[in-house]
Chains A and B, each alone.
Chain A
Amino acid sequence: QVSAALKEGRVTPTELCQRCLALIKSTKFLNAYITVTEETALKLAEESEERYKRGQPLGILDGIPIAVKDNFNTAGIETTCASKMLRGYISPYNATVVQKILDQGAVLLGKTNLDEFAMGSGSTDGVFGPVRNPWSYSKQYKEKSVPKSHSEDKESDWVITGGSSGGSAAAVSSFTCFAALGSDTGGSTRNPAAHCGVVGLKPTYGLISRHGLIPLVNSMDVPGILTRCVDDAAVLLGSLAGHDPKDSTTIQDDFKPFELPNLTDVSKLSIGIPKEYNAPGLSSEVLALWSKAADLFKNAGAKVVEVSLPHTRYSIVCYHVLCTAEVASNMARFDGLEYGHRSDVKDSTESMYAATRREGFNDVVRGRILSGNYFLLKQNYEKYFVKAQKVRRLIANDFMKVFRSGVDILLTPTTLSDAAPYTEFIQEDNRTRSAQDDILTQAANMAGLPAINVPTALSERGLPVGLQFIGRSFQEKQLLTVAKWFEKQVQFPVIQLEEVKRHDNGVFQHQKSASFS
């Protein structure tokens, strides 16, 4: 819709950009952005405006403000991965996905906050501090919160965004941008999407190029898409997908961008409900919502069946081994010699390495590196790494079997519950939290399948809860079509934020779900 508005001249790209920038400033307390590229954004907006004046916009994305997670390389702009190790590092090149959106005329607003090096499920462990969920400040949440005694600081009530793409999710959710890029290795796009009430798409592994995405786990990472509605996600997917010669893990086949049909008849659809996803710790609220959703499909005529993915319970440990091993490998390049932080210790190269890496990485990162190296030791390799790879194959096969038996899409919860208050979340360490929170999302990364979070309803506490759809490899069209149908059925409410209302005078109000397509 906003794209149409731009085309018709009802609003100009620079106006749009300025509003977003102003909103970013007034929502600074959310800490969603690490770097705001004000000058660049305005310049891009001006260029876009020129194109619209000439009647030659580059496409739907021309002039649309977009934010990018700070683990994507952006030429001339600081890229930190929320780590001391890369503070002050100015990328010399654009990641392929960044280049693609820029080529379409998008306006890059800035780099969003995350867990350090994308490790975490809360966006709380970055060097720039935690990201706050915009819903903490929403009317809906405030109405439902138990009034606290005066002595308690109202500030500490806020809830987390989820992670690790928390900054991107918060940015989209708080209307400071119209779409954001995140990354998804174990659920890092879908988890914060669920907590922040936005759409989070994890594409099939190999569909979108990882070139320029600072790697966490090369065999599971994908760039993720965060938007306010499913149609927008489809648009963004269309701009980003396709073979990249610079990334040998992207598939060669041609990708054809698509428009989503408006599904009306779901009777030919078969929805699978994996029973193992009724995981320990799943809140009764989410469970109830999941059931309701299943009933929704059933009542509309779809076939809803219970299925089994028996190896689900092994996925956490398997993920832990493979993830830490690849992390240990990928983090080896941060030695302080070529770029990034370098310690002042000069006694020898080895001591410089050690000091640099101790100073540059936080506990979470260091912990994973140590574990990973342990698993890769010659004496442990067979026992852990190779075994984990075998289990990974079994997990992927579980999905294959289910899809082959006639099921089209799987429906599962995305998170165990709604967003936790920050003070509660930090009671447990990162590893424990990740192990708990990733369970519903991570199998899709192991199997390389596409998955999407669709915001479904508000919890008792007034916070968003989302549900996840998992589809067959490279069948994003089918996946998104079903997601879109579901989105329409549930009519998830718009967040009511004071700050947004202040800045909004027409443009945002026009749109119920504030989409740009």
Chain B
Amino acid sequence: VLNRRCVEAAVMTGLALNCHINKKSLFDRKHFFYADLPAGYQITQQRVPIAVNGSLSYSLCIDNKMSQMVTKTVRIKQIQLEQDSGKSLRDDIRSQTLVDLNRAGVGLMELVMEPDMCCGEEAAAAVRELQLILQTLGSSQAVMAEGQLRVDANVSVHHPGEPYGVRTEVKNINSIRFLAKAVDYEIQRQIEELGNGRTILNETRAFDSKLGCTVPMRDKEGKQDYRFMPEPNLPPLILYDAKSLPANMNYQQLINIDWIHERLPDLPTVKREKLVEQYGILPEHSFTLLNEDGLAEFFESVVKQTQMKPKKVIGWILNDLLSYLKQHSLTVKESPVSSFLLADLLNLLEKKEISSTAAKRVLAELWKGEGKTPLETVKEQKLELLQDQKELEQICQAVIDGQENE
């Protein structure tokens, strides 16, 4: 029986990626024997998937300094609904394979991209953007380490002007960083192989994260005939839009594409543009804001609570807050300094009660998370800026006098 939520998630994702949604899509059985496939077949959409011909835009920094961003696009071939298999766990000690069937049968969305990317960095950036989109839509939490987003990379090399080379499929990639590494390694490996006069096999390889290389996978066969057959227990999936919605049917049983389209939340690209427009920050800045979970909200929260201009706030967010969090491997949510505290501190700076250097010292104190307010810290460390002209003159005079005495 088809899961409604899965269909809705697939439609949302398809719309977000500019795909054409097929109003009629079909289900098929893909047959093969494997310990984690209890039915001996997997239900998928081989003939007519739910969405086709979309595109995903992502941004890339030209150099490492985050000063210039360029936008690239990768075409989405299709999105299809299918069943998950169970999980196989290899127990090398006892030379056996354990099978966990809890996952088998759960709905999956498979997204197939065209080979429009040229290196690990592009692949990683594209997948990262996809992750953000999926999280924004709520289709998936897309955490790779938990298997919520699984990525297989297909890599091939060719000389410019020549047709695409033989591709290999790389599996077992558990994070975006590893994705970039795996792709780059495989590219190098293929170039070397070809350089040595050998050929590339159309095979499946596994990424070994410890060694940072790809190795051929033992279990998967070369070419298999999957004996595709239409799934007889699932009638064709019919989706409607505002025009084609039948008058007298039970709405619980239908999905209206236009209805879903109207309710799509702002996608990351739109959100970034809005941040730039609203706060006058640079595109690179808004990119980083969205890249960290919760950072954009933190930023906006600080801006609301302080008189300091957003253009200045952003520096504190990106340079100070973020680097501290990174150093200590903390997420924004785990930050010992709340947006309230930071705003408070920035207000002191803005009112010229402390200097910029002093502010940094206060911040360092606040990181300790001892519950002191910025004002308390300033008083404690006597970091107040002296505003009194007379007093300043006296101090300067004392310094000069001191100098003369040497």
User: Which of B41, B225, B235, B253 makes the CB contact (< 8 A) with A329?
Assistant: B41
- Interchain CB contact (< 8 A) of B233 among A245, A249, A373: A249
Docked-complex contact A338 and B38, CB < 8 angstroms: yes
* B225: A residues at CB distance < 8 A: 377-378
Q: Which residues from 286 to 338 on chain B have a C-beta closer than 8 Å to any C-beta of chain A?
A: none
Interface residue from B33, B226, B232 paired with A219 (Cβ < 8 Å)? B232
Are the CB atoms of B234 and A378 closer together than 8 Å? Answer: no
- Checking A246, A349, A385 against B229 with a beta-carbon cut-off of 8 angstroms, the contacting residue is A385
- Is B279 in the interface zone, CB < 8 Å from A? no
State whether the Cβ of A350 lies closer than 8 Å to any Cβ in chain B: yes
Q: Give CA–CA (A350, B97) in the complex, Å.
A: 13
Min CB distance, B294 to chain A, in Å? Answer: 40
A335 to B35, CA, bound (A): 9
Separation in Å of the A396 CB from the closest CB of chain B? 15
Cα separation A385 to B28 with both chains bound (whole Å): 14
Known contacts A248-B234, A248-B235; is-contact A329 B228 (Cβ 8 Å): no
- Looking at the assembled complex, report how far the CB atom of A171 sits from the nearest CB atom of chain B, in whole angstroms: 29
Interface assignment of A252: CB less than 8 Å from any CB of chain B: yes
Contact of A332 among B2, B40, B234 (CB under 8 A): B40
B38 touches A337 (CB 8 A): yes
Task: Check: A325 CB closer than 8 A to any chain B CB.
Answer: yes
Once the chains bind, are A332 and B33 in contact (CB under 8 Å)?
yes
CB distance from A259 to the nearest CB of B (A): 29
Q: Does A508 contact B (CB under 8 A)?
A: no
Kindly report which residue of chain A lies nearest to residue B235, judged by CB atoms.
Answer: A248
0/1 string, A330-343, CB within 8 A of B gives 1: 01111101100000
Q: Is there a chain A Cβ closer than 8 Å to B264's Cβ?
A: no
- Find out whether the CB atom of A246 lies under 8 angstroms from the CB atom of B1: yes
Contact check, A248 vs B1: say whether CB atoms are below 8 A apart: yes
A353–B35 Cα distance when bound, in Å, is: 10
Name, among A217, A333, A350, the residue most crowded by chain B CB atoms within 10 Å (CB to CB).
Answer: A333
Q: Determine if A335 and B33 form an interchain contact, defined as CB atoms under 8 angstroms apart.
A: yes
Residues in chain A near residue B379, CB distance under 8 A: none
Contacts of B31 in A (CB 8 A): 328-329, 332, 376
CB contact list, A205-229 vs B, under 8 A: 217-219
A328 to B227, CA, bound (A): 10
- Chain A nearest CB, measured from B355 CB (Å): 69
Interchain CB contact under 8 A, A335 and B2? no
Closest to B34 in A: A349
| B39 in the interface (beta carbon within 8 A) | yes
B280 to chain A, nearest CB (A): 54
Answer whether residue B101 sits at the interface, using C-beta atoms and an 8 A cutoff.
yes
- Bound Cα distance A148, B97 (Å): 62
Complex interface: chain B residues within 8 A of A381 (CB): 227-228
Kindly state the separation between the CA atoms of A248 and B232 in the bound complex, as whole angstroms: 10
Report the Cα distance A218→B41, complex, angstroms.
15
Docked-complex contact A326 and B228, CB < 8 angstroms:
no
Q: What is the CB-to-nearest-CB distance from B4 to chain A, in angstroms, rounded to a whole number?
A: 11
* Chain B contacts for A334, CB-based, 8 A: 40
B35 touches A245 (CB 8 A): no
**Contact yes or no, B99 A337, CB < 8 A:** yes
What is the interface residue range for chain B against chain A? 20 to 34
Which residues of the other chain, A, contact B97 by a CB distance below 8 angstroms?
Answer: 349
Minimum CB–CB distance for A241 against chain B, Å = 19
Q: How far is the CA of A376 from the CA of B97 in the complex (A)?
A: 30
Known A-B contacts A350-B33, A377-B227; the reply to A218 vs B38 at CB < 8 A is: no
Cβ contacts under 8 Å, A333 to chain B: 38-40
User: How far is A423 from B367 in the complex, measured between Cα atoms in Å?
Assistant: 92
Whether A373 lies near B227 (C-beta < 8 A) is: yes
Q: Is there contact, CB below 8 Å, between B99 and A326? A: no
A353 to B225, CA, bound (A): 18
Give B86 Cβ to nearest chain A Cβ, in Å: 10
Residues of chain A at interface, number, CB under 8 A: 29
Interface pair B40/A252, CB less than 8 Å apart: no
Is B75's CB within 8 Å of the partner chain A?
Answer: no
Compute how far the CA of A381 lies from the CA of B227 in the bound complex, rounded to whole angstroms: 8
* Cβ proximity bits A307-333 to B, threshold 8 Å, 1 near / 0 not: 000000000000000000110110111
Complex Cα distance, B101 from A349, in Å, reads 16
Docked pose: A331 CA to B39 CA in angstroms? 8
Cα distance, A246 to B233, chains bound together (Å): 10
| Residues on the A chain within 8 Å of B38, using CB | 333, 335, 337-338
Contacts of B39 in A (CB 8 A): 332-333
Q: Is the CB of A326 within 8 A of B232?
A: yes
Residues of chain B lying within 8 A (CB to CB) of residue A245 = 1
A349, B228: Cβ atoms under 8 Å? no
Render B74-117 as a binary contact track against A, CB cut-off 8 A, 1 for contact.
00000000000000000000000101010000000000000000
| Chain A residues in 8 Å Cβ range of B29 | 329
Q: How far is the CA of A329 from the CA of B39 in the complex (A)?
A: 9
Least Cβ–Cβ distance between A209 and chain B, in angstroms: 12
Q: Digitize B220-261: 1 where CB-to-A-CB distance is under 8 Å, 0 elsewhere.
A: 000001111100111100000000000000100100000000
Which A244-263 residues have C-beta < 8 A from chain B? 245-249, 252
Q: How near does chain A come to B46, taking the closest CB pair, in angstroms?
A: 11
Q: How far is the CA of A401 from the CA of B101 in the complex (A)?
A: 49
Instruction: List residues of chain B with CB within 8 A of the CB of A217.
Output: 232
Question: B101 near A338 (CB under 8 angstroms)?
Answer: yes
Task: Report the minimal beta-carbon distance from A26 to chain B, rounded to whole angstroms.
Answer: 42
C-alpha gap A326/B227 in the complex (Å): 11
Residues in B with CB closer than 8 Å to A326 are: 229, 232
- Is B227 within 8 A of A337, CB to CB? no
- State whether A248 and B41 are in contact (beta carbons under 8 Å apart), knowing that A376-B31, A378-B225, A378-B227 are contacts in the complex: no
Minimum distance in angstroms from B234 CB to a CB of chain A: 6
Please report the C-alpha to C-alpha distance between residue A186 and residue B250 in the assembled complex, in whole angstroms: 34
Q: Kindly state the separation between the CA atoms of A349 and B99 in the bound complex, as whole angstroms.
A: 12
Whether A248 lies near B40 (C-beta < 8 A) is no
A376 touches B235 (CB 8 A): no
Complex partner residue of B235 from A249, A338, A373, A385, CB under 8 angstroms: A249
Q: Which residues of A contact B232 (CB under 8 A)?
A: 217-219, 249, 326
Closest to B97 in A: A349
Q: Within the assembled complex, what's the spacing in Å between the Cα atoms of A185 and B35?
A: 30
Cβ–Cβ < 8 Å partners of A332 in chain B: 31, 33, 39-41
CB distance from B94 to the nearest CB of A (A): 13
Complexed CA–CA distance, A450 and B398 (Å): 110
For A249, list chain B residues within 8 Å (CB).
Answer: 232-233, 235
| CB neighbors of A among B338-376 (8 A) | none
Q: Are A252 and B253 in contact (CB under 8 A)?
A: yes
Q: Which residues on the B side are within 8 Å of A373 (C-beta)?
A: 227
How far apart are B237's CB and chain A's nearest CB, in angstroms?
10
What are 13 inter-chain pairs, A to B, with CB distance below 8 A? A247-B233, A248-B233, A249-B233, A326-B229, A326-B232, A329-B40, A332-B33, A332-B39, A332-B40, A332-B41, A333-B38, A335-B40, A337-B35
Binding site for A on B (CB under 8 A): 1-2, 29, 31, 33, 35, 38-41, 97, 99, 101, 225-229, 232-235, 250, 253
**Known pairs A248-B1, A248-B234, A335-B40. 5 more at Cβ < 8 A?**
A246-B1, A252-B253, A333-B38, A334-B40, A373-B227
Q: Could you tell me which A residues sit within 8 Å of B by CB distance?
A: 217-219, 245-249, 252, 325-326, 328-329, 331-335, 337-338, 349-350, 353, 373, 376-378, 381, 385
